[in-house]
Amino acid sequence: MKVRKAVIPAAGLGTRFLPATKAMPKEMLPIVDKPTIQFIVEEAKKSGIEDILIVTGKNKRSIEDHFDANPELEQDLEKTGKKELLKLTESITNLGVNLYFTRQPHPAGLGDAILRARSFVGDEPFAVMLGDDLMTDKVPLTKQLINRYDKTHASTIAVMPVPHEEVSKYGVIEPADEIEPGLINVKSFVEKPAVDKAPSDYAIIGRYLLTPEIFEILAHQKPGRGGEIQLTDAIDTMNKTQRVFAHVFKGERHDVGNKEGYLETSIEYGLTHPETKDELRNYIIKLGRELEKNSKQN
Ligand code: UTP
């Protein structure tokens, strides 16, 4: 069956960005001038996804508004002859994918957020895309997972090697064997293991291709780490009755879910943005020289 649907969970509290996220969704934090969630929706579109469900919560109205028309703004841009900005604004409403929204009443965990998508997904394979991870590669990562699914008809989770001391921040796989380059048979999936107990350094990154059987498992899933319904635990259970593979991502991953990663990503994107790249580059070179001089003096 063709993969047509994606779920973007966006109901988390975003505590790592407080106070910015007290009244504003972290998914709307911009990388220079584009909210992070727009990058995710664009990746879905480029991957051939037709229908997207965004799972939101309290204080998340602006996500819906961002993808809706803004007639007052558009009229004003038209009147003042700002044609490029008008085109840009309108293009967000005409992305060429269908967006649907539902709410997760309590942030009870990623697994619980995905369970909210059950009737939207029905009996089809679907993608899960987390807003914390922005990926760049020639073929979008979601499309890479779809290509794997088209051959295996099995759930496939994107992974990447991370520094060993960081494994406790991630879901981690216990690999069995590599059945073809970049495709791993998995023995088990563990959510945020202790560094000395981690079965490998392959971390689950924010893209999943799942078969619909995950929903029945999620419906009975007991809270796991942090008292939350963990998607990783449900995937581990599913792996006992049907094959679940890990796909090794070789492109670039930007973790925008923490402050440092967010700043680095903003700088890198700013260095490619036509309006900022030259001045930003000059500024960074000047700043680098000053920092070097200061570190030599200390
Ligand atoms: P995170 O734990 O990274 O996001 O969840 P968070 O909770 O928003 O952020 P911090 O850790 O407090 O700073 C991963 C993804 O799962 C979603 C989040 O929105 C994020 O995209 N999520 C998490 C939900 O939709 N519902 C939840 O109950 C938990």
Residue range 35-47: mean pLDDT, rounded: 97
Q: Are residues 118 and 194 in the same domain?
A: yes
Q: Are residues 179 and 166 in the same domain?
A: yes
Q: Are residues 263 and 155 in the same domain?
A: no
Q: Are residues 267 and 209 in the same domain?
A: no
Number of domains, the chain: 2
Q: Are residues 244 and 266 in the same domain?
A: no
CATH number where 80 lies: 3.90.550.10
Q: Are residues 135 and 282 in the same domain?
A: no
Q: Are residues 160 and 274 in the same domain?
A: no
Reading the block at residue 79, the tokens are 């009147």
| Structural domain range at position 298 | 258-298
Grouping H, G, I as helix, E, B as strand and the rest as coil, residue 134 is: strand
pLDDT, tens digit (0-9, with 9 covering 90-100), for 101-158: 999 999 999 999 999 999 999 999 999 999 999 999 999 999 999 999 999 999 999 9
* Position 20, amino acid: A
Q: Are residues 71 and 173 in the same domain?
A: yes
CA of 60 to the centre of ligand 1 (A): 13
Q: Are residues 133 and 269 in the same domain?
A: no
CA of 132 to the centre of ligand 1 (A): 8
Q: Are residues 172 and 270 in the same domain?
A: no
Q: Are residues 60 and 91 in the same domain?
A: yes
Residue 125 near ligand 1, beta carbon < 6 Å: no
CA 229 to chain centre: 18
Q: Are residues 202 and 274 in the same domain?
A: no
Which residue has the CA at smallest separation from atom 25 of ligand 1? Answer: 11
Residue 278 CB partners (closer than 8 Å, separation 6+): none
Please state whether the peptide bond connecting residue 19 to the residue before it is cis, i.e. omega within 30 degrees of 0: yes
Atom of ligand 1 nearest to the CA of 26: 8
pLDDT, tens digit (0-9, with 9 covering 90-100), for 55-94: 999 889 999 999 999 999 999 999 999 999 999 999 999 9
